[in-house]
Amino acid sequence: MIEIRGVSHAYGDRRVLREIDVTLPERRIGVIGANGSGKSTFARLLNGLIVPDEGEVRVDGLDTRSDAPTIRQRVGFVFTDPDAQIVMPTVAEDVAFGLRRQKLSREETDQVVAKQLASFGLSEHADHPAHLLSGGQKQLLALCSVLVTDPKILVCDEPTTLLDLPNTRRVLDLLSTVSQRVVLVTHDLDAVLAYERVLVFHEGTIVFDGPPADAVDHYVSLVT
């Protein structure tokens, strides 16, 4: 479970999150709000990519300030820009990189990678240079490489921005069925309609926290 207590955060002298207090036990949580409202900063706090200036973020009781390496194993993060997280030359090697801590044999690693790539429709690209994939294929690879590490929680920051309609559906379907708990930051309001809980950010605070349809109504009322 993720707990955020009294969290504020600034970049330089610009305060972008103010006094956030929220506990996130649900399995599917959406985060929506206007550009610059603080959603990505909030998402990055959840796995210790950003440590808050004030307050604390805890994952299963561990503090992101002191336990970031452990927390990053538990909380997988998918960036908007897949180039930010594809680290190996080929597609298969990138997925295998996520398995390096598991001490599998070469054959076992190859099997897991092949299965994972097949479930993402990436098998035919296994030996291709990752940087030559399309933007959408890179996004699928980034998600594939994070999920293979089997995190307990998956935080996704606008993971469908680069995707066409079939791949958007593929990713959203996947996010609704994976065993991980999911926190999804998105501008796709339909994507969170089946979620249990949706947070609406506005100017660095959570202005609504509740069922998705009401959250979307609230967000729309803010901008119209």
Ligand X SMILES: Nc1ncnc2c1ncn2[C@@H]1O[C@H](COP(=O)(O)OP(=O)(O)OP(=O)(O)O)[C@@H](O)[C@H]1O
Question: Could you write out the DSSP letters of every residue in 126-182?
Answer: TTSBGGGS-HHHHHHHHHHHHHTT--SEEEEESTTTT--HHHHHHHHHHHHHSSSEE
Nearer to ligand X, 45 or 122 (CB): 45
Nearer to ligand X, 33 or 136 (CB): 33
The nearest distance, CB 36 to ligand X, in angstroms, is 4
Phi, then psi, of 94 in degrees rounded to 5: -65, -40
- Show the tokens assigned to 87: 């680290």
Nearer to ligand X, 50 or 59 (CB): 50
Nearer to ligand X, 55 or 121 (CB): 55
The nearest distance, CB 154 to ligand X, in angstroms, is 17
CA distances from 104 to 90, 118, 147, 181 (A): 19, 19, 17, 25
Chain positions contacting ligand X, by CB under 6 A = 11, 16, 33, 35-41, 201
